[in-house]
Amino acid sequence: MNGLLYKEFKQNRVGLLVTMLVPFLVVLLPIVLTLGDVEESLTAAFVSFENNAAILKLLFILVTYLLVGDMQGKTLLGDDTKKWGIFVASSPSGVQGYLYTKYVFIFGMCGLMCVASTIADFLYSTVGYQVTKQEIGSGSAVFVLLFYAQLLLRALELPFFIRFGIKRGSTIKIIMGLLLVIVFVLLVIVNPFDIITNIVGAIDSLRGGDVSDTVTLLIAIFPFLALGTYYLSYRISCKWYMKGVEQYDQ
């Protein structure tokens, strides 16, 4: 088991490094936005960014989580071969031990992203306060929800990666993602301003702790749903693994 975990760390060290560093780029966003205007002060940049760039900040956070999330799924890359599958099945840890290590490692990557994002957000708020002398809201609650959202997404995609291999599994993931994007785009086209306003308003309410009882209940249930689905995903992957090995390349 320890050998498998060491393999994961060594094989995915670049992904771990990216997971730790990418969230801190949010601190540089207001500075980058002022590069085109040398006359704008850093104070004005932070104030303007906080007041007018909520969507940009949201998109940046989502893109970083999608990027790291894709790297989490790619931890299976190189393991989807028949030789490795036969080795795993004949090893003392067996299929369950291998997949347990894989799921624990991916869980750790999700947690590392949450911790790094929280620290980066604290640094951003601290720098912003020192520059503007204004309180900047914390996004820690959002990052905790994104942590469980990542677990839920990994729980949905990992069994497909294990059953069909990383390439065919990624194709299925892309198709599902495109369908969701099409639905979202159609909703935005029908009523763009309300959709964007509601998204920004929901995030601001979550950051400020001003949410309804129904939303509070859903937020309370969501972690258990994500964790339960993640465990169920592990059990399904254990049953599908050898079926997937039969279809893997040599």
Radius of gyration of the chain (CA): 21
Q: Give the whole-angstrom CA distance, residue 143 versus residue 115.
A: 8
Name the phi and psi angles at 81, rounded to 5. -130, 155
Q: Give the whole-angstrom CA distance, residue 104 versus residue 90.
A: 21
- Is pTM beyond 0.75? Reply is yes
pLDDT at 107: 94
Name the phi and psi angles at 195, rounded to 5. -60, -50
Q: Give the whole-angstrom CA distance, residue 219 versus residue 205.
A: 13
Tokens coding 168: 């065919």
Q: Give the whole-angstrom CA distance, residue 50 versus residue 245.
A: 50
Domain boundaries, the chain: 2-245
pLDDT at 56: 67
Q: Give the whole-angstrom CA distance, residue 242 versus residue 250.
A: 14
Per-residue pLDDT of the chain (250 residues; tens, 9 = 90+): 677 888 888 888 888 888 888 888 776 766 666 555 544 566 766 666 666 656 667 777 777 888 888 888 778 877 878 888 888 888 888 889 999 999 999 999 999 999 988 888 888 778 777 777 777 666 677 888 889 999 998 998 899 888 887 777 777 777 877 787 787 677 667 665 565 566 666 666 655 556 667 767 878 899 999 999 999 999 999 999 888 888 776 6
Name the phi and psi angles at 131, rounded to 5. -85, -45
Instruction: Quote the Cα angle for 118-143-165, to 5°.
Output: 115
pLDDT at 39: 47
Contact criterion met (CB below 8 Å) for 151 and 226: yes
